[in-house]
Amino acid sequence: MKSKTCRLDRFISQNSAFKLSDVRLLLAQKRILLDGQIAQSIQQKVTQFTQVILDDQCLQNNQPLYVLLNKPQGVVSATTDLKHKTVVDLLEHPKKDELHIVGRLDLNTTGLVLLSNDGAWSRKISLPETKLAKIYEVTLAKPLTPEYIQVFREGIYFAYENITTQPAHLEIISDYHARLSLVEGKYHQVKRMFGYFQNEVLALHRASVGPITLAGLELGQSRDLTTQEMAAIEAHCVV
């Protein structure tokens, strides 16, 4: 999930026959275009999505990709796996091999998975500080009690990571069903939080991430996020 950002002079020297020291002259001769604008300085930043044209040659032209998938049970949140079908196997996207997973789900968890080739975006929406709510629908083995609500709000200590979970909102739907809202994604977090009460999670489904839902997307189906959805995510991010 690396964000490849570098200075213009370094980018040119790594992606053409010109040397680092040639780039000032190329700039003076107005031979480099960055996203359609004549480049001005050797220090200009080139991200993985900056279009770079030198003379008539396009050196880079990557499009950011943002994909939404409704993951079925038994599909692993990985890009390759010897035993199970992966979330990437389910995609029909022509550039699916460039994608990484933004927030994994366990093998038997169903629901919303985001994939992207934009590391900076993925990091941003995964950060607890961004406060983007991930909503899980949970089916439990034992009945729920109001005590869970208080404990989840206060946070649960995870000894392995030596952290206390961020305040989480639990809505009890019925004795065995709840809706849990988290702003982070620690390993097996939902199962471990209910494990605090020795209550086994029998079924788990991620229904939404921020404003993004699975409406209209059958299990196993995927599609690109729309411009409106991207803007809505941005608007929901606190930082």
Instruction: State the DSSP code for 76.
Output: B
Whether 55 is catalytic is no
Largest CA distance in the chain: 73
Q: How far is the CB of 188 from ligand URA (least distance, A)?
A: 4
Task: Using the minimum distance from each CB to ligand URA, give the nearer residue, 45 or 188.
Answer: 188
Cβ atoms of residues 56 and 37 within 8 Å: no
Q: How far is the CB of 134 from ligand URA (least distance, A)?
A: 8
Task: Using the minimum distance from each CB to ligand URA, give the nearer residue, 24 or 85.
Answer: 85
Please state, in angstroms and rounded to a whole number, the distance separating the CA atoms of residues 55 and 49.
19
In sequence order, which residues have a C-beta less than 8 Å from that of residue 29 and are 6 or more positions away? Answer: none
Task: Using the minimum distance from each CB to ligand URA, give the nearer residue, 109 or 165.
Answer: 109
Residue 48 region by backbone torsions, left for phi larger than 0, else alpha for psi between -120 and 50, else beta: alpha
Task: Using the minimum distance from each CB to ligand URA, give the nearer residue, 50 or 199.
Answer: 199
* Positions that interact with ligand URA (CB under 6 A): 105-106, 109, 188-191, 204
Please state, in angstroms and rounded to a whole number, the distance separating the CA atoms of residues 99 and 95.
7
Choosing from 35, 106, 118, 175, the catalytic residue is 106
Which of these, 214, 232, 215, 235, lies nearest to 114 by C-alpha position? 214
Q: How far is the CB of 201 from ligand URA (least distance, A)?
A: 7
Q: What angle do CA 33, 42, 52 make, to 5 degrees?
A: 25
User: Which H/E stretch holds residue 207?
Assistant: strand 201-209
Q: How far is the CB of 53 from ligand URA (least distance, A)?
A: 43
Which residues are the active-site residues? 106
